[in-house]
Amino acid sequence: MMEEESVAYIGLGSNMGDRDSYLFQALKKLNHHPNISIACCSSIYETEPYGPVEQREFLNLAAEVHTSLSPESLLKVCQAIECSLGRKRDVHWGPRTIDLDILLYNKENIEKENLKVPHPELSKRLFVLTPLKEINAELIVPHINESIENLYKKLKSEEGVRIWRPNNGEGEFGLFES
């Protein structure tokens, strides 16, 4: 049983190899950590790549996690999972086996060299807002003081985010066959 749980939202993405397998493995690794439990996951969305690098489309999802870890410790776990799944940081905004971003942590504003929460690009990325909206549309983003729903409405005319596998509540995390 965890003490003093915090609620964090993590964005996951993959555009190399067996994309959905990387997402599943990352979710399993998060959920198997003794100080992290996944409360819910969004559907998986296929999205256009973000940034100037020519690459394959991404699969993205968001997960709400409950954790007794500090934001910095949660970041270390996320980076260790990325590393264990072959993530290389060769090209900024380049292709990746897996990407785990801490989008929100409680209602905190965190400004550190290696961690900024809310994620600085959250309000500009439909591929982040769409799965977050599915999980908790009324969630207020600290510092911006707007709901996920309102931020989504500002960008929803943009294209490039489409449902790839709905979360039907069946199988592991509602997304994968058990």
Give the residue numbers annotated as catalytic, written as ranges: 87, 96, 99, 101
Three-class secondary structure of residue 140 per DSSP: strand
Whose tokens are 């490039």? That residue is 160
Three-class secondary structure of residue 90 per DSSP: coil
> Side chain identity at 164, as an amino acid letter?
W
